[in-house]
Amino acid sequence: MAQEGPARGLWRRNPFYVRLNAGGLLVFALASLVTGAALELGGLPGSIVPSAGIAAPTVVIALLALRIGGWTLILAAVWAVLIFLLTFLFLPTGFSHVSSFWDFAAALTTTAAVLAASIGGVAAFVQRRRGTVRQTAATAERRSVVGATAVVVGLLVLSGALHIASLETVGADDKAGAIAVGMKDTRFHPTEVVVQAGQPATLVVKNDDLVVHTFVVEELGIDEVIIGGSEKLIAIAASSPGSFAYVCEFFGHEEMKGTIVVQAAPQ
């Protein structure tokens, strides 16, 4: 509690747009740490390292903007845009899967925080050059920030509810005789499945990760999306022997691949 005084003072004596910039960066750093910690606890060791690696300089840059202002505001705005470019490739997966909470939440929080930081950084710098620095937010500005925050929180709640509502489980009866394929740590387990040609086979594919994955076998026309914690029954019908690749199609999940080996039926 002893730190609250100076921290609050530092926050309050800064102009509105500097606070918007620093606030955006700090929210991004927090979101990055939470995501890294969740993945670390979820069984993907080492996830916290890149998260902390990007959160630490982000916090330092936000504090510089709050303490010094001036040129550090440009640094903060440029840093916000860099973070956006760095995470940009992962955003389509998140935004296109509202029912996968972790993916959607990471994409939405990153975008909102980085937008706030960029707008704040640029506006703060421009106001300082023009000598129009304002300590407090105009009513419209305050309403915009409150409104945007409410929309983000509302969408996060919606995504969480959709995720829970979309969870699928496979009953014990259906599981009996089916081949289990797990998705864990952005890998398939096992990476080889053997079935007989001309005999229908069933897979139970379960996603034990927090993030969404796909199970795609192009040659067999299989294309399923499975959110974290969900499982699906997938029928395989291969009439002739051969081997078919199964993959997850999302960016950054290139290591997720396996093979379905279709053996000739015993004579």
Which residue's beta carbon is nearest to the bound Cu ion?
Answer: 248
- Minimum CB–partner distance for residue 215 and Cu ion (Å): 9
- Yes or no: say if 170 and 51 are a contact pair by the CB < 8 Å rule: no
- For residue 113, give both structure tokens: 């925080």
Of the pair 28, 246, the CB lying nearest Cu ion is at 246
- Minimum CB–partner distance for residue 189 and Cu ion (Å): 13
- For residue 241, give both structure tokens: 């022997």
Alpha carbon 202 to chain centroid, angstroms? 31
Q: Are strands 192-196 and 222-226 parallel, antiparallel or unpaired?
A: unpaired
- Minimum CB–partner distance for residue 101 and Cu ion (Å): 15
Give the C-alpha separation, 252 to 100, whole Å. Answer: 16
Of the pair 106, 262, the CB lying nearest Cu ion is at 106
Of the pair 97, 213, the CB lying nearest Cu ion is at 213
Contact residues for Cu ion, defined by CB under 5 A: 213, 248, 250, 253, 256
- For residue 267, give both structure tokens: 């004579």
- Minimum CB–partner distance for residue 65 and Cu ion (Å): 36
Of the pair 147, 252, the CB lying nearest Cu ion is at 252
Count the helix, strand and coil residues of the chain and give each as a percent rounded to the nearest 5: 55, 20, 30
Of the pair 238, 248, the CB lying nearest Cu ion is at 248
- Minimum CB–partner distance for residue 52 and Cu ion (Å): 24
Other residues' Cβ atoms within 10 Å of the Cβ of residue 157: 11
At which residue do the structure tokens 């990760």 appear? 209
Give the C-alpha separation, 79 to 211, whole Å. Answer: 26
Give the C-alpha separation, 34 to 28, whole Å. Answer: 10
- Minimum CB–partner distance for residue 207 and Cu ion (Å): 8
Of the pair 24, 36, the CB lying nearest Cu ion is at 36
In one letter, which amino acid is 132?
A: T
- Minimum CB–partner distance for residue 250 and Cu ion (Å): 5
In terms of Cα–Cα distance, which of 164, 216, 207 is closest to 186?
207
Of the pair 19, 232, the CB lying nearest Cu ion is at 232
